[in-house]
Amino acid sequence: MSETLQLIEGRRSLRRYADRPIAPDQADLIIHAAMRAPTAGNMMLYSIIEVDQPASKRRLAETCGHSFIADAPLVFVFLADLQRWVDLFDSNAVPTKLREAGEEYTMPDLSKLLMACCDALVAAQNSVIAAESLGIGSCYIGDILGNAEEHRSLLDLPPFAFPIALLCYGYPPDGFEPPRSERFEARFIRHRNQYQRFSGDELTEMLSEIDAKLSTLLEQKGITLAEMTYRGFIGGKSSREQRRSVQALLEPWVADQ
């Protein structure tokens, strides 16, 4: 197995950090790796905010519901970013010139947001692998999608900068090894030529194989793992807040639809 594949195989989410700063040159290497990621049309439809003020990190720990964010030596927020391009077009009078020529000028829409999200997340994953190669662990925080108004204010986000992921980086404490999460069998993920749907029994098997011990324990309590997953991922309080928050974040992108 190649060294790169070994890094990917061994990578685990790190939520505890040694009291050891990440040197600026190491952080620069992580950023450089992110910026070398594939990008649509070489437009780099993303920005990266490094959050290094302790008060801001503590607030993100509160709004995202993960206390370890405050302790992470390095915190990046990855944005799907079209604001840079909107500003460029405005500064070059592109809207005016198009309208004078009888052509339509439109603001970025959901199709461009999805493309920008892809750009941002590909860059984020490049940064994760680069960090791993330097002995630096990481953890994705999807809860940056919640509390839109506060995150917009805290990070001073303009309308067309969408926070799609927060990443914490740090060295693991001496002797600490993060737990390894299992993955679904490839047969549930890898389709050939056309999408394949599975029966209820097959999907229950898929889920229970990830944590057979937990599945058995829940069944003894009269709760299925599917029900617990729904309540945690879609139907819970944090999910409802995230749904409301994302709708608020989407407002600029759907204004002209």
DSSP secondary structure letters along 83-145: HHHHHHHHHTTHHHHHHHTT-------HHHHHHHHHHHHHHHHHHHHHHHHTT-EEEEEGGGG
The whole-number average pLDDT for the span 186-204 is 95
Compute the average pLDDT of residues 110-131: 98
User: 3-class DSSP state for residue 40?
Assistant: helix
Which pLDDT score is estimated for 230?
A: 82
User: Is pLDDT of 166 > 60?
Assistant: yes
**Which amino acid, 6?**
Q
Window from 2-6, 40-44, 224-228 with minimum mean pLDDT: 224-228
Q: Which amino acid is at 186?
A: A
254 pLDDT exceeds 90?
yes
pLDDT at 126: 98
257 pLDDT band (50/70/90 cuts)? low
Residue 227 to residue 238: CA distance in whole angstroms: 16
Instruction: Tell me the C-alpha distance between 81 and 44, whole Å.
Output: 8
Q: Are 120 and 45 in contact (CB under 8 A)?
A: yes
Q: Which uninterrupted H or E stretch holds 48?
A: strand 46-50
In eight-state DSSP terms, residue 23 is: P
Residue 77 phi, psi dihedral angles, 5° rounding = -110, 120
Residue 244 is classified by DSSP as H
Confidence tier at 224 by pLDDT (50, 70, 90): confident
Contacts by 1-9, CB closer than 8 A, 24 or more apart: 4/129, 7/129, 7/132, 7/133, 8/129
Mean pLDDT of the chain: 93
Q: What is the pLDDT of residue 182?
A: 87
CB 165 within 8 A of CB 124: yes
Q: pTM of the prediction?
A: 0.94
pLDDT exceeds 90 at position 180: no
In which band, very low, low, confident or very high, does the pLDDT at 77 lie, cut at 50, 70 and 90?
very high
pLDDT bin (cut points 50, 70, 90) of residue 10 is: very high
* 15-47 tens-digit pLDDT: 999 999 999 999 999 999 999 999 999 999 999
Can you spell out the DSSP letters for 192-218?
-SS-----HHHHHHHHHHH-HHHHHHH
Report d(CA 80, CA 14) in Å as an integer.
24
Give all strands of the β-sheet with 46-50 in edge-to-edge order.
Answer: 46-50, 74-81, 161-170, 137-141
Domains and CATH numbers, the chain: 3-181 (3.40.109.10)
- Please give the structure tokens belonging to residue 49: 């905010």
Q: Supply the DSSP symbol for 257.
A: -
In the predicted model, is pLDDT for residue 125 greater than 90? yes
The one-letter code for the residue type at 10 is G
pLDDT at 229 over 90: no
Residue 162 Cα to chain centre, angstroms: 11
Residue 73 has pLDDT above 60, yes or no: yes
- According to DSSP, the residues that pair with 139 across neighbouring strands are 168
The mean pLDDT of 232-239, rounded to a whole number, is 80
Q: Inform me whether the pLDDT recorded for 236 exceeds 90.
A: no
* Contacts for 147 with CB less than 8 Å, ≥ 6 apart: 63, 64, 241, 245
